[in-house]
Structure 1
Amino acid sequence: MCKSFEVKALNGIDGIDFIGSRLGYIGEKIAYPMLSFADKMKMLPRIIQLMTSRKKTIEAMKNMSMEETIDKYGKGKLKTVLKIFPRLITTVNDLSRISAGETFFAQRELMGGHPVIYPVGGLKSISRAFASYIERNGGKIFLRHEVKNVDIDDGIARGIDGKEYDAVILNMPVQHIFKVVGERHFENEWVRKIKGLEGTGSMVAYHVLNKLSAKLLGKSFVFLEKNDGFVGNELAGMIDFKMASQHGLLSPKKKYIVQSYLICSPEEAKDKRKWYEMAAMIDKNLEKLIPDYKKSLEWSIYNVIWHLDGVAKTVDNEKPSIVTPVKNLYLAGDSVNSKGIGINCAIDSARLIREKLK
């Protein structure tokens, strides 16, 4: 999880705490942190120019791809940074589709000592804290309650399944909203646009070890794998040891959970032949960090996800607004046009809806 203003805001809710780390790099050699002080000094003039650009300038860069930006600015280690971080920020490997403006806006949010964080106790700690917050403030949560239909009358959302509400907020992959809202309530063009939106994919792996060097605990490492058989010809990935730390409250005593992921397209995530290639890439980079890790390996599992983020944040895949053509019907989550990706995007969508409902 990338650190951002939105994630920092979660610290205001009781029961949510985070552990963070700097980033290392797995290349021909292992570098931790990825950039030395000398590297940062060499890059500083160019980074300051890009990171402190006025919002108008960044807005204008939204239609410029990272591929173009790298051709213009990428030299030495800065080129490596510009090839890896945009992919990690957007969970898209094709640099020709990644918006330079969106990337640099996100980079401004990521400035700080610990750019990657993870919730203590896992993501369930966020869900539980949210549930507690909602109930303390008079809200109700209905579990195992399927929503069958959003009630719409005269172009206005009135409620759900016969129950009236002031507003209806759908927090689901936006491409799925027509399962609960009839297409007849929208213009055909809007329906086509929503159905055509593309998500992102990933392989997530877990390795459980019974031995791990203390030097790796709590750290995160990124890598880049060249492979012409995948979109973008290179795949960005990360190997994370924060779950292995006892402070993370996830690994059993004397066991160490190592979490890894590799970005791919939704189509690649559905291709069984690609699964084995991606698993081999993850194992190869884990072996660079721990040459004899297989001796202490208890078990491993590889999961492929073809719908990681609801809508990929690319120059040719415009996310929809939180406001729908139906009055009082709003969209929330990582599918909408708000800051960041994943949970950062979802949290900011809640902020935008709150402003609309004031």
Structure 2
Amino acid sequence: MMDQNKYDAIIIGAGVGGLTVGSLLAKHGKKVLILEQNDRVGGRALSVAGEEITKRGAQWYKDILETQYTYVASSEPELEELVKSGMLNGYVLDVGYHALSMNGNAYLYDFVQQIDGIDGVKMNGSHYGTYYKGEFYMDLIGSQPVDPRYVEIAEREKIPFYKYYTTPYKLNDEQIDELEKVSLQQWGEEMGLTKNDILWNNLCSVSTLFSTINNPDDISIGDIFRFFKHAVSPKLEKGLCEYVGGFVSGGVMEWSKAVARKYQELGGELSLETRVREVVIENGRATGVIAENGSGEMKVYQAEAVVSNVPAQDSFKFMDKSHFPGDWAQKTETMYGYGSYVPYWGLNSLAMPEEHATRNYKNSCVLPKEEGFDYDVYICWSIQSALDPSVAPDGKYLYTAYLPLTESEAKNKVLVDKIVKRLPDFMEEIYPGFKKTIDWKLDLMCWKLEGVAKSVSQAGTQKVPVKSPHVEGLYFAGDTAKGYGVAMDCACTSGMICASEMLGVDFGVR
């Protein structure tokens, strides 16, 4: 009789990467178990309904945020009052800013095709623009035409503006690998793209949108080029590049829930509220895990392979470090992520044109680096409910945004207070009367929005390999392992690469 607790693969964490690996393995006939510490799937791609927060309380909300490297920096009114008043009812709040690249048609699309589709996910696409020196400009990416003012400047000053978008298609993968170590700033200067501040500001803001890094000296141009060549280019040919980004109806977790349903339809097993306490490693090989369920019961699960989908920096919380070379362990533990200030504000009306409400806008400087930050703090803001009405009550609106911060900045109370205080004034300067439309404010601070920053020293192929070089049967997935793309795409591609290694099957991402 088959041992019910023995699996071909056990996956730690039901985030995007874990669900990707699990679904692909299950589709290829493997017996798979995913263990998730929370009571829901999604990892950092998490959503919470306002009614649930009201019912379960402020402390419960803070606890679930903490599992995803996030805390409440401030709120108006105070969090306890905000929750008890029921003011959040009717809203759906993601944990972190989660607009999906290309409206879900980048690498997420490739993965979904591999598992023959998912049901119950509706996307709401959006175009993007840039706000700079009091002017609104339209971005090139997507079906919208390039802003004619960019064209006029580029032609007049003979600046090769389009090189940013056309260069990737002339490169092979080895050349892109090398460019992972080259910064946006260095490449831009070499190409003559930094000569005009309006054009350069646009390219920097687009690059921060992709990388979640403020400083152009730290943004990997190779990581961006790989995304353009392998995620964008094939979709242009298929007519799937209408939008730069988009929101999942009902919150980003609806995508993860749909994948989890498909995973279970394919025969995969999922155990929620189960925390892995130890990865069992014997004679240099991972043989299973010891996990604790919600009742406090400890259980041993055996497996031919173990996949860790938690941030790799946290690996040694449940793996004995002595199984790994000291320098490798140190490098893994010291990989740095990138955080973000993520405001969620309830509005009673719009202080902006409808056209602006249905578009996502970027600006490269809400606060300058002279205020104590590593670099000028960027923003991308959205009226999420103008695109997806299901995330706000009738007659109300949900404002969301993300302002990238380094991990240390996201934990620095002085800097956090500065940016939280500044943002309402910033929006008021653009849209007079904006502050009067705010019913409530919830200011979240995520110190690991990106598990590993896509920087010149860490991007793409420089991350932790998906197959452990030191322990047999041990694999890594998620956005801290080798993978490419924007946000959730990064976790998804690492999952596809991981499954390829485990199965010997080409899923189209190397």
TM-score, length basis structure 1: 0.92
Match of 1:354 in 2: 499
Alignment of 1:210 with 2:348, yes or no, is yes
Most deviating of 302-311 and 35-44: 35-44
Say if 1:287 and 1:7 are closer, same or farther in 2 by CA, change over 3 A.
farther
Q: What SS does the aligned partner of 2:226 have?
A: helix
Alignment of 1:152-231 (within 5 A): 152-161=281-290, 162-212=300-350, 213-225=353-365, 226-231=368-373
| Aligned counterpart for 2:379 among listed residues 237, 242, 267 | 237
Most deviating of 2-11 and 100-109: 2-11
Alignment of 1:28 with 2:133, yes or no, is yes
What displacement does 1:166 show?
2.3
Distance 2:450 2:134 in 1: 32
* Residue identity opposite 1:179 in structure 2: K
Distance 1:119 1:7 in 2: 13
Alignment of 1:131 with 2:233, yes or no, is no
Most deviating of 184-193 and 81-90: 81-90
What displacement does 1:32 show?
4.8
Matched length: 357
Retained in 1: the 8 A contact 2:478–2:490? yes
What CA deviation, in whole Å up to 9, does each residue of 1:36-94 have, x standing for no partner?
A: 14525845653454232312433332222112122223233331122212222221222
Q: What SS does the aligned partner of 2:340 have?
A: strand
Distance 1:201 1:313 in 2: 12
Alignment of 1:18 with 2:123, yes or no, is yes
Say if 1:53 and 1:200 are closer, same or farther in 2 by CA, change over 3 A.
same
Distance 1:142 1:71 in 2: 51
Instruction: Give the CA RMSD over aligned residues.
Output: 2.2
| Aligned counterpart for 1:58 among listed residues 154, 160, 176 | 176
What displacement does 1:178 show?
0.8
Retained in 2: the 8 A contact 1:201–1:306? yes
* Residue identity opposite 2:363 in structure 1: F
Match of 2:77 in 1: none
Q: What SS does the aligned partner of 1:92 have?
A: coil
Retained in 1: the 8 A contact 2:126–2:387? no
* Residue identity opposite 1:229 in structure 2: E
Distance 1:164 1:185 in 2: 19
Distance 1:45 1:222 in 2: 20
Say if 1:186 and 1:90 are closer, same or farther in 2 by CA, change over 3 A.
same
Alignment of 1:70 with 2:188, yes or no, is yes
Retained in 2: the 8 A contact 1:207–1:258? yes
Structure 2 spans left out of the alignment, 5+ residues: 1-98, 140-145, 155-159, 234-240, 291-299, 504-510
Retained in 2: the 8 A contact 1:208–1:299? yes
Alignment of 1:92 with 2:213, yes or no, is yes
What CA deviation, in whole Å up to 9, does each residue of 1:141-197 have, x standing for no partner?
A: 111111111111211111112221221111111111111111111111111111111
Higher strand share: 2
* Residue identity opposite 2:324 in structure 1: F
Retained in 2: the 8 A contact 1:94–1:231? no
Most deviating of 158-167 and 189-198: 158-167
What displacement does 1:308 show?
1.5
Distance 1:210 1:121 in 2: 20
What displacement does 1:107 show?
3.8
What CA deviation, in whole Å up to 9, does each residue of 1:182-217 have, x standing for no partner?
A: 111111111111111111111000121111253333
Greater than 6 Å deviation, 4+ residue runs: none
Structure 1 spans left out of the alignment, 5+ residues: none
